[in-house]
C-alpha cells in the first residue's frame, strides 16, 4: 500500500470561488478598471463614485470542482482496492461490506484508522 497521505491529498486544488471572480469598475457607463485580484472594499476606496460589479466564471469554477471531485473519488477507490489487495480479499464477496463497516467506524479519524478497523474486521471474512 501507498502512504495514507497519498490517498487524501489530490493533485488538483480545491477551487476557491474568489479565484474565479472578475471585478469590473464602471464610471458614467464606461468600464474604467477590470481586475481579478482586487477586493471590492479596496476598489470602493480607490473609486468612491464608481459602480463595482463582481462576475463569477461559474463554468470554470464548476469544471475545477468536478475535476477535484473526480480525483478524490479515484483516490478513494484506489485506497479501497489497495486495501483489498493488501489483505488478499480481492475476490471475497464480503469485502465491500467489511470495508463499509471499517469506513463507518474509522473515517472520521483518517485513512489510517480505516485501515486499522479493516484489519480488525477482515479476519471475519477470510477463509
82 SS3 class: helix
C-beta atoms surrounding 36 within 10 Å = 12
At 41 the pLDDT is: 84
Helix, strand, coil content of the chain in percent (nearest 5): 55, 15, 30
Q: What whole-number distance in Å separates Cα of residue 12 and Cα of residue 67?
A: 7
pLDDT tens-digit profile, the chain (127 residues): 999 999 999 999 999 999 999 999 999 999 999 998 777 888 889 999 999 999 999 999 999 999 999 999 999 999 999 999 999 999 999 999 999 999 999 999 999 999 999 999 999 998 7
| pLDDT at 54 (0 to 100) | 92
Residue 66 pLDDT = 97
* The predicted structure's pLDDT at residue 126: 86
Distances (CA, A) of 73 to 21, 66, 77, 101, 119: 27, 10, 6, 18, 22
As a whole number of angstroms, the longest Cα–Cα distance in the chain is 79
Alpha carbon distance 45, 83 (integer Å) = 56
Chain centre to alpha carbon of residue 45: 35
Amino acid at each position: 500500500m501507498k502512504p495514507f497521505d497519498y490517498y487524501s491529498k489530490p493533485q488538483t486544488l480545491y477551487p476557491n470561488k474568489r479565484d474565479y471572480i472578475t471585478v469590473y469598475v464602471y464610471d458614467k457607463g464606461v468600464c474604467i478598471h477590470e481586475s481579478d485580484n482586487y477586493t471590492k472594499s479596496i476598489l470602493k476606496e480607490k473609486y468612491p463614485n464608481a459602480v463595482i460589479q463582481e462576475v463569477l466564471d461559474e463554468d470554470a469554477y464548476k469544471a475545477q470542482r468536478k475535476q477535484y471531485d473526480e480525483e478524490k473519488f479515484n483516490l478513494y477507490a484506489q485506497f479501497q482496492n489497495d486495501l483489498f489487495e493488501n489483505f488478499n480479499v480481492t475476490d471475497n464477496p464480503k469485502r465491500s461490506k467489511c470495508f463499509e463497516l471499517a469506513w463507518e467506524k474509522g473515517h472520521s479519524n483518517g485513512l489510517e484508522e480505516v485501515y486499522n478497523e479493516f484489519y480488525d474486521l477482515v479476519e471475519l471474512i477470510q477463509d
